[in-house]
A and B are shown apart, each in its own frame.
Chain A
Amino acid sequence: MRYNLSLRQLPLLLLCLLLCTPLLVVLQSALQPDWQLWQHLTSTVLPDYLQNSLLLAFGVGTGALFIGTTLAWLVVFYRFPGRNILQWALLLPLAMPAYIIAYTYTGLLDFAGPVQSLLRETFNWRYGQYYFPEIRSLGGAVVLLSLVLYPYVYLLARTAFAAQSQRLAEASLSLGLNRRQHFFRVTLPMARPALVTGMALAMMEAFADYGTVQYFGVPTLTTGIFRTWFGMGQQQGAAQLAALLCSMVVLLIYLELASRKQLHFYYSGQAHQQVRYTQLSGFKALLALILALLPLLLGFAIPASQLALWALAQWPTLFSAEFGRLLWHSFSLALGSAVLVVSLALLLAYGMRLHKHWLVQLMVRMSGMGYAIPGTVIAIGVMLPLGAVDNQLDLWLEQQFGIRSGLLFSGTLFALLLAYAVRFLAVALQGIEAGLGQIKPSMDQAARSLGLNARQVLWRVHVPLLRGSVLSALLLVFVDVLKELPATLLLRPFNFNTLAVRSFELASDERLAAAALPALTIVLVGLVPVMLLAKALDKTPNKE
């Protein structure tokens, strides 16, 4: 019965349709290829776009996977000095907008920057006489994006590692595996869905990145979309490039699903014990500390210090009423959208769990694709249909009743929220789905057979088990919205400014010192929920 489509699924499908609309609007103009333009693109720039986009996404995916998994492994299975602070501090790079870290590292490592200048002065070298890695390159972009995106993997991997039963470890050991073998043959494969999800998120973000690659002069599909759309005024060509980007993401999602399909792990439903950890001391403890500090230093402490140094000269503006308003706008917008997006994700994730119909599954998947699409493309996809609805309604009302409704949706916070929902749904959905996936369906059945109704199952079984995933999802969306730029820029109402917009405007005018204060504030505001979440996650029981 549950494989049939029924009226009960209609609201869910309509919601998905709303969330897919922006993407469909952009993609529908891709249906009439302009062959002349494509000939130009393929003979000149397209091979570069494709190659760079793929290298970037896979590079960042691998980098984030490696850093995030290593850190989660250290933090979950070992105890060393500083571990308790590090376990949440390692999330901090998340609060660093990618283009900001690109600007700060360029300032530091560029030929004209302090590092190379110092080297030259110390050793009396000149340009061309020594080798120094070029930060503004594809490799540089991969490293910097990996440094700010690894927390996606870390967050999910940590939860997955911590949720594994100690009994499994005991079973492995009793079957003759040593600890290393247990980690590689049991722990890691069991955490694979979470790891792949984190990696997919990092890759999607890398596909959508515009600020960093544009500043580094690395031509990717994303920069190509902008160039074709705005530089050449070829909206269709740009939409076709966006379609190409989408197809890569579809492939990515498919691979992720396929990897999940082969493996299904659930909580066993039996009593869990805390994961057994090893207390490190001496040289090993120091090594672990250094290993865990490194990404934090590179992804957070160094760029934040550089920002603070630049911001020092600007601090009096901190106390202006205008700055207070910026702060309030950014914070409330991020909080409200996080709550909204996570609620939507919960609805959809449950919809998928309850309705196994292929159409439901497909529509929910499509709703989550917005994460890999550049924010501007989404924003335009939101703006065009809302504008059309507004104007049609206005015209109709005028013809029928002689009244005009003007713009009801365009230029309102509703438009902005819709864009955020489309763009960041994947972030929330992936985490919640991973959490939900670990709740064995038989647990529902057992609870029901014990006399609980559906609602009680939800509150007494699912909510406690999902708490960690929901909180993580709230954090990720909050921080993402806080950093979000293109949709905010395009869709916001009059006189509505945010920290990200402010910092971007100054940075794009190449006034990095002035841009540093709002950028640093974004990072600091992002700190608050990271710390709150860390506290809350520590309390989340995994032994119930």
Chain B
Amino acid sequence: MKHAVLALLFSGLSTFSAIATFSTHAASAQVNVYSARQEELIKPVLDKFSAQTGIQVNLITGKPDELISRMASEGRNSPADVLISTDVGRLYRAQTQGLLQPIASQALNAAIPAHLRDPAQHWFGLTMRARPVLYIPGKVDPKQLSTLEDLASDQWRGRICIRSSDNIYNQSMLAAMIASIGEEKTLAFAKGLVANFAQPPKGGDRDQIKAAAAGVCDIAIANTYYLAGMFDEPADAKAAKQVKVFWPNQNDRGAHINISGAGVAKHAPNKAAAQQLIEYMVQPEAQNWYATANHEYPVLAGVKWSPVLESFGTFKADPLPLVKLGELNSKALLLMDQAGWK
């Protein structure tokens, strides 16, 4: 028995040593990236960076909170240099756990508007995404639309599609509202909105748009790049063409936005290369790639948008310092529980 087990174990281990030869080892200059952006939407930019600078980039992708837990667990020995996240709440969480270090960079400060980066310089917005109201023309007269808060009013009973409150984009949206109009009014809004749901929340952002196009609801709430991405895929383009973008709150605080962003790890072994990488990501080349490949709004002024983004029109964005979204995230979640938002 022992022999059989040993033989099995050995054959297993030899398989793994074979795998291990694939993992890359120390090159002269390198930078290690923990990315909550999926590989497909980060690797092309990293490859260009490597080609230009000769710095090798090692990548792990994953869910943001888990990457943060991993950094925390690895402590001062963590190989992480750069943390990339697709929403500000997680960057803030990494910052409050002491996992990021401040970076003083003229290039970053010049390229990124102040409200899209941490006042204490721990994290920096790299691209912007907005969460507008999407409506079906013919069923909804845009004149009826005004603010996000108004979507809780009786005229929208059974007409709204939005995804689950498990989703960070909804949590951030409510956090922004708490910051602007306070907890009490936000709770009232959440309750009203839940009463107006056309169906129990399910699926992702694209599903809400498809549901609206199919007639389940008249209004969907979704992030801009989900809608824009649907135009690129023949199967989804038909639904995408049936909705129009309405920018809410244009007469007061502006439409809710969020960022994807990055920060340098507290114990980064390659700090200089890390800073260099983040600076590269706000240069026109990388900014342009995100604006066209994934339809995200560039943070750098003067970079051209994709034609689809152009078609959504310009809008006034909420200038709320995004650090607030991080601070109020858990409060937003408790409040959505109370409102019965599944």
Contact = CB atoms under 8 A, between A and B. Distances in A.
A340 B204 CA distance: 38
Contacts of A413: 16, 19-20
Contacts of A493: 23, 60
A199 B73 CA distance: 36
Interface in B87-124: 93
B311 interface: no
Nearest to B226: A510
B19 A333 contact: yes
A40 B334 contact: yes
A494 B61 contact: no
Contacts of A390: 74, 77
Interface of A: 40, 44-45, 106, 110-112, 116-117, 126-127, 136, 214-217, 219, 223, 226-227, 229-234, 325, 328-329, 332-333, 335-337, 339-340, 342-343, 346-347, 350, 376, 379-380, 383-384, 386-388, 390-391, 394, 404, 406-407, 410-411, 413, 417, 455, 458, 463, 486, 489-490, 492-497, 501-502, 505-506, 508-511, 513-514
A325 B43 CA distance: 16
B235 interface: yes
Given A112-B213, A411-B74, A506-B40, A214 B66 contact: no
Contacts of B69: 380, 383, 490
Nearest to A48: B342
A227 B22 contact: no
Contacts of A380: 66, 69
B202 A494 contact: no
A492 to B, nearest CB: 7
A127 B215 contact: yes
B241 interface: no
Contacts of A229: 65
Contacts of A417: 16
B58 A494 contact: yes
B19 A332 contact: yes
Interface string B51-62: 000000011111
B164 A217 contact: yes
Given A112-B210, A391-B75, A514-B40, 7 more contacts: A217-B203, A233-B93, A336-B16, A343-B5, A407-B78, A494-B32, A513-B235
A511 B74 CA distance: 33
A136 B39 contact: no
Interface in B35-71: 38-41, 58-63, 65-67, 69-70
Interface of B: 1, 4-5, 8-9, 11-13, 15-16, 18-20, 22-24, 32, 38-41, 58-63, 65-67, 69-70, 73-79, 93, 163-164, 166, 168, 171, 200-207, 210-211, 213-216, 226, 229, 233, 235, 239, 329-330, 333-334, 337-338, 340, 342
A336 B32 CA distance: 27
A394 B79 CA distance: 14
Nearest to A413: B16
Nearest to B238: A112
Nearest to B163: A217
Contacts of B210: 110-112
A484 B58 CA distance: 23
A65 B202 CA distance: 29
Nearest to A474: B8
A471 to B, nearest CB: 13
> Which of B40, B75, B201, B205 counts the most chain A CB atoms within 10 A?
B75
A410 B66 CA distance: 14
Contacts of A495: 22-24, 58-60
A391 B267 CA distance: 13
A394 B32 CA distance: 20
A505 B290 CA distance: 17
Given A231-B333, A489-B63, A214 B58 contact: no
B202 A217 contact: yes
19 contacts: A106-B203, A126-B215, A214-B166, A215-B203, A227-B333, A325-B22, A329-B22, A333-B19, A340-B12, A343-B9, A394-B76, A394-B77, A486-B66, A490-B62, A494-B58, A495-B58, A501-B61, A509-B40, A514-B40
Contacts of A511: 229, 233
B70 A497 contact: no
A136 B63 CA distance: 24
A406 B77 contact: yes
A316 B5 CA distance: 42
A497 B1 contact: no
A355 B39 CA distance: 49
A452 to B, nearest CB: 14
B162 to A, nearest CB: 11
A496 to B, nearest CB: 6
Nearest to A347: B5
Given A230-B65, A490-B70, A494-B24, A350 B1 contact: yes
Contacts of A490: 62-63, 66-67, 69-70
Contact of B75 (A232, A328, A387): A387
Contacts of B78: 407
Pairs A-B, 3 closest by C-beta atoms: A387-B73, A217-B202, A505-B38
A379 B63 CA distance: 13
A407 B233 contact: no
Contacts of B70: 383, 410-411, 490
A231 B329 contact: yes
A387 B74 contact: yes
Contacts of B62: 489-490
> Which of A214, A387, A406 counts the most chain B CB atoms within 10 A?
A387
Nearest to B13: A336
A497 B334 CA distance: 36
Given A337-B12, A343-B5, A411-B74, A232 B330 contact: yes
Contact of B202 (A44, A215, A394, A489): A215
A350 B2 CA distance: 11
A230 B39 CA distance: 22
B334 to A, nearest CB: 6
A110 B207 contact: yes
Nearest to B225: A509
Given A329-B19, A340-B9, A502 B200 contact: no
A336 B12 contact: yes
Contacts of A455: 1
Nearest to B67: A490
Contacts of A127: 214-216
A112 B229 contact: no
Contact of A111 (B66, B67, B211): B211
> Which of A127, A229, A230, A388 counts the most chain B CB atoms within 10 A?
A230
Contacts of B340: 44
A188 B332 CA distance: 53
A40 B38 CA distance: 34
A450 to B, nearest CB: 19
Contact of A384 (B73, B76, B163, B164): B73
A332 B166 contact: no
Contacts of A328: 19, 22
B214 A136 contact: no
Nearest to B59: A495
A541 to B, nearest CB: 19
A256 B171 CA distance: 41
Nearest to B24: A495
Contact of B337 (A40, A110, A234, A335): A40
